[in-house]
Amino acid sequence: MMPVRFKVNGESRELTLDPRTTLLDALREHLHLTGTKKGCDHGQCGACTVIAGGRRINACLSLALQHDGDAITTIEGLGTPDKLHPMQAAFVKHDGYQCGYCTPGQVCSAVAVLDEIARGVPSHVQADLLQRPQASNIEMRERMSGNICRCGAYSNIAEAMADVAGGRG
């Protein structure tokens, strides 16, 4: 057992965990933050996407101990039912979900994607890597390609992201 300290959704948390515990299991089983979902448990679906250290990650592929000292944001930390994060509100407005299982990971990833674009992080679809990326449909879809929606709400998710991206412009 080993100690790990991180700030989860703005709150300092300290756990003593088996070193093999994934960040996903630490969040769900030890901190009872069940918004982050366990989908494939192999990093292929994106249902477990959280923001750790300012970057989106698959929490199922990351050991909790790797995030000692990190700030971690889960879906619970983005907004509340009374005060939704703009991306959460856009998902509601544009029906960016169907069954809802993948939605927490989709929302966390969408928030991080717009942050990546704003910071100028290049992607595989950029024609010119020397220019800043733009929040275009193809750019956002490429960056979201690691988040699978089995219901097929992709167009609505893209509309929600475009809505939030346009609000920043």
Rounded Cα distance, 8 and 78, in Å = 11
Name the residue range of residue 109's domain.
86-167
Q: Which residues contact 156 (CB under 8 A, 6 or more apart)?
A: 91, 94, 95, 96, 97
pTM: 0.94
Residues near 101 by beta carbon (within 8 Å), at least 6 away in sequence: 37, 39, 47, 150
CATH number at residue 139: 1.10.150.120
Residue at a domain's end among 34, 62, 78: 78
CATH code of the domain in which 29 resides? 3.10.20.30
pLDDT, one tens digit for every residue, the chain (169 residues): 999 999 999 999 999 999 999 999 999 999 999 999 999 999 999 999 999 999 999 999 999 999 999 999 999 999 999 999 999 999 999 999 999 999 999 999 999 999 999 999 999 898 888 899 999 999 999 999 999 999 999 999 999 999 999 965 3
How many domains are contained in the chain?
2
Residues 96 and 74 in one domain: no
On whether both 67 and 124 belong to a single domain, the answer is: no
The verdict on 97 and 70 lying in the same domain is no
Q: What is the pLDDT of residue 169?
A: 38
Q: Identify the pLDDT of residue 127.
A: 87
* Distance in angstroms (rounded) separating the CA atoms of residues 64 and 66: 5
- What is the model's pLDDT at position 129? 87
* Pair 119, 163 in one domain: yes
Same domain, 56 and 11: yes
Same domain, 98 and 27: no
Confidence (pLDDT) at 52: 97
My answer on whether 58 and 118 are in the same domain is: no
pLDDT in tens, 127-169: 888 899 999 999 999 999 999 999 999 999 999 999 999 965 3
